[in-house]
Structure 1
Amino acid sequence: MTDKPKPHSPVVIVGGGQAGLSTAWCLKQKGIDSIVFERHEKFHSWRHNRWDSFCLVTPNWQCRLPDFHYDRDYGGTDPDGFMLKDQITAYLDAFADRTQPDLREGVEVTRVVPQDSGGFVVDTSIGQWTCDQVVIATGGYDTPIEPAYAQRLSPGIFQMHSVEYRNVGQFPEGGVLIVGTGQSGVQLMEDFLRAGRDVHLAVGPAPRSPRRYRGRDATDWLQEAGHYAITIARHPDPVKAVTQTNHYMSGRDGGKEIDLRRFHVEHGVQLYGSLADMDGPKARFLPDLAKNLDDADRSYLGIRAQIDAYIAREGIDAPAEPPFEKVWAPEEERTELDLAEAGITSVLWAIGFRPDYGWIKADVFEARGKPVFDRGVTAHRGLHFIGLGWLHTWGSGRFLGIEEDSRHLAGQIAAQLAMPARRVAG
């Protein structure tokens, strides 16, 4: 009695987000069949892992899925606005309806194993599949990061990671300590302020960006100046580009920049350096608040200088801006805080995620577990990644760069699939 043949697809795509479905569409345009496995439902993280008031940080015009740009193809009417969560999912659902991928929702991929004869075996919750090529489009947000010392915090103090946060109503009355000042941390800070809560913020090394500058959104200037076209191969500091936290700003209320010094002066947000330890009701901080604020401002001023240089080089008539001034600087570094005495009843962790690729049984990872590739193509024939930051440009892993990345990857897959046929023919 022979084993029943396993179902086969030329390409298996793991992950039903915008990166996976964009790749499926670009493959379909080349006449290549693919199947997309998504362990939840399509665009799950946009639907379920974002808070109620979430909106884009980048303008809507940057939403450029392949053949489905926000204004040109989708018919969006506010290219300079910032879509809210439900509007984002409506845009993504419309793309899926337009492109009709072979999508299997509720299917978890548990293992990808290369075969000696070529191709892969893909273990899923609905059985084994084989394929010639695999695209990993799961992103880098698998495991929420919480430090070990969080377990030593007094049990009476409520804790939550940002992935679970939906609104302030989930938290007990009282003040909150938000740990992390990336894009999530500073926007959640504003949620609590609007609810009338006392906010304490552990300020990390994240950089910040201007929002509107010299008459336009800073991202408009940077796009026009070619900044977003710089590739990782041509970047003057590729290590910094790949490891640096995203610049923080906000799309709320039509878009605004976030100056934490102003939030301290105007809204009473209490600022501390990077969180270093917790024990009982005590939190300890590094004495790096002044440095972190200065570094964020340095990044902010660097972007302004880039825009100024472009305006001068091109002879553009743009309104002048007043020079930046610090509205506040810490007189001393507070390195210890008794949360109970300060009226803090909750801690909200906003310090990011780490990927988990343990289920991929191929030698394509460096010592820290990050995949090694060239524009998503690994050294192991047929194994590819997409939807990660700086896959090729700043826009990789964001709406802005997914069209270019998915078209390139589809071309690489098509070339690899054609190579055996060419060898036989020759």
Structure 2
Amino acid sequence: MTSADYVPVVVVGAGQAGLSVSWYLGRAGIDHLVVESGTPMHAWADTRWDNFTLVTPNWHCRLPGYAYQGGDPDGFMTRDEVVEWLAGWLDTFEPPLRTHTRVDRLRCVAAGFELTLESPTGTESLRCAQVVVATGGYPLPILPPFAAAIDPAVAQLHSEQYRNPAQLPDGAVLVVGTGQSGAQIAEDLHLAGRQVHLAVGGAPRVARRYRGRDCMTWLADMGVYDTPAQQYPGGKAAQEKTNHYVTGRDGGRDVDLRRFALEGMTLYGTLIGGKDSELTFAPSLTEALDRADSVYNSICSDIDRHIEAAGIDASPASRYEPVWAPAADPIGLDLAAAGVRSIVWAIGYRPDYRWIEASAFDGGGRPMQTRGITEVPGLSFVGLPWMHTWGSGRFLGVDRDARHVAEHVVAALSSATVPDTLPQNGVRL
């Protein structure tokens, strides 16, 4: 290991959140370095399936000095369109990047931090006064402990590895999980004509459009994505819930699992165990479907109240009525008998900050932070779900969060008031 070099600020991760912090630091004239294990924003191309689309309208897509300017603001960009849009943003500035370099260790030292870097050229160390961690909220895909006990003849992959139906062996497919990825992957397979078995979890759902507008546009107007986490109804429990499932595919539509069942998809409750070819499910399907529909209709009611209070002229109100219900909750599945030859796990991710040696994490390994700032001097985070608001995990909230963290870093380095020249979206304040 070479002797440690020094740079005032290191941003770990070159996704849209880390690069947004870099954008602001650059405009403030702060010497810094962005360290990325791969290439900038590679996850968009590397971990999304071929038919992926955003579930938030294109007008939500805003980054520092840059916003969606295409001809379909209420539409939903595909994966490749998102990659192209992000590349266009990266062309507007020159962040100080160090790619294909992994941070293996971050530890507190006198007056700052020391980072151990691994790259094709070897191991080295780097010191800094401030570190902004922008590696994503939950980088490790979750698989259940019993996955290893399932018949090895059944192919298994996580949702981040799924690309298209042709990638999987012939035969039926079991998709486990109904968050945004699981529901959309099940739809992708269903539309391709594959026989799909779907283990339904506790994720809620939302209407794609309601009373003449996209539901997420209504919610943005209502300030839902701007409400600080501490003030959000339901508190911590609400923040831990999976996001509502819906799709932007083919111009956007509802994801109705009951409709899928009418069309031949087989639904189950939560998958709770498995060995060899036999899987066991909780008898929770009816409850899960009813609860998801209840949230759907509750959001519609919230929008109704907003429309009435604001005196908005909108199309008539309506409510979702179930088009199908299970006769009984299935509790078992024989994979071999059902011809299931592959499983797609879409049950989420978990945090992994073992490389950070600092007292900044709770018992679940998640950063203890307020708007990205921790109690460890000089250590901050960006790009976390619910870091400040519901919008923090979306393009809609990245710019605001990054600017706040950058302001904090500038203030800490200068030990003075943040300069009034720090820009927001390219406009001098």
Task: Name the TM tier (shorter chain).
Answer: over 0.9
Matched residue type, 2:270 = S
Q: CA RMSD in A?
A: 1.5
Q: d(CA) in 2 for partners of 1:186 and 1:170?
A: 18
1:393 to 389, 392, 398: 389
1:87 to 71, 81, 84: 81
Q: 1:386, 1:406 within 8 Å by CA — same for their partners in 2? A: yes
Matched residue type, 1:103 = L
Matched residue type, 1:9 = V
Q: Percent identity?
A: 48
Q: Which string of whole-angstrom CA distances, capped at 9 and with x for unpartnered residues, describes residues 233-275 of structure 1? A: 211222123210011000000001111111111x211100000
Residues 1:198 and 2:195 are matched in the alignment:
yes
Q: Which string of whole-angstrom CA distances, capped at 9 and with x for unpartnered residues, describes residues 309-352 of structure 1? A: 00000111101143321111112111011111112111111111
Q: d(CA) in 2 for partners of 1:139 and 1:239?
A: 20
- Aligned residues, how many? 414
Matched residue type, 1:151 = A
Partner of 1:328: 324
Cα shift at 1:6: 2.5
Structure 1 unaligned residues grouped into runs of 5+: none
Q: 2:300, 2:319 within 8 Å by CA — same for their partners in 1? A: no
Q: d(CA) in 2 for partners of 1:419 and 1:327?
A: 62
Any residues of structure 2 matched to 1:231-250 within 5 Å, and which?
A: 231-250=228-247
Q: 2:411, 2:417 within 8 Å by CA — same for their partners in 1? A: no
Q: 1:65, 1:399 within 8 Å by CA — same for their partners in 2? A: yes
Residues 1:313 and 2:309 are matched in the alignment:
yes
Partner of 2:113: 120
Q: d(CA) in 1 for partners of 2:2 and 2:159?
A: 45
After alignment, is 356-365 or 239-248 more displaced?
239-248
Partner of 1:19: 17
Partner of 2:4: 6
Gap change, CA 1:385 and 1:421, over 3 Å in 2: closer
Residues 1:185 and 2:178 are matched in the alignment:
no
Q: d(CA) in 1 for partners of 2:318 and 2:386?
A: 33
1:139 to 136, 139, 144: 136
Any residues of structure 2 matched to 1:210-249 within 5 Å, and which?
A: 210-249=207-246
Moved segments of 4+, more than 6 Å: none
Q: Which string of whole-angstrom CA distances, capped at 9 and with x for unpartnered residues, describes residues 402-426 of structure 1? A: 111011111111111122899xxxx
Gap change, CA 1:4 and 1:149, over 3 Å in 2: closer
Q: d(CA) in 2 for partners of 1:297 and 1:4?
A: 59
Q: Which string of whole-angstrom CA distances, capped at 9 and with x for unpartnered residues, describes residues 264-294 of structure 1? A: 11x2111000001011111100011111111
SS of the equivalent of 1:305 reads: helix
Cα shift at 1:5: 5.3
Partner of 1:301: 297
Partner of 2:359: 363
2:167 to 154, 166, 170: 170
Structure 2 unaligned residues grouped into runs of 5+: 419-429
Matched residue type, 1:146 = L
Residues 1:348 and 2:341 are matched in the alignment:
no
Cα shift at 1:81: 1.0
Q: d(CA) in 2 for partners of 1:360 and 1:91?
A: 32
Q: 2:35, 2:101 within 8 Å by CA — same for their partners in 1? A: yes
Residues 1:28 and 2:22 are matched in the alignment:
no
Q: 2:369, 2:375 within 8 Å by CA — same for their partners in 1? A: yes
Task: Give TM-score scaled by structure 2 length.
Answer: 0.94
Gap change, CA 1:165 and 1:300, over 3 Å in 2: same
Residues 1:61 and 2:55 are matched in the alignment:
no
Q: Which string of whole-angstrom CA distances, capped at 9 and with x for unpartnered residues, describes residues 209-234 of structure 1? A: 11100000001111112221111121
Matched residue type, 2:73 = P
Q: d(CA) in 2 for partners of 1:271 and 1:15?
A: 38
Any residues of structure 2 matched to 1:266-305 within 5 Å, and which?
A: 267-305=263-301
Matched residue type, 1:255 = G
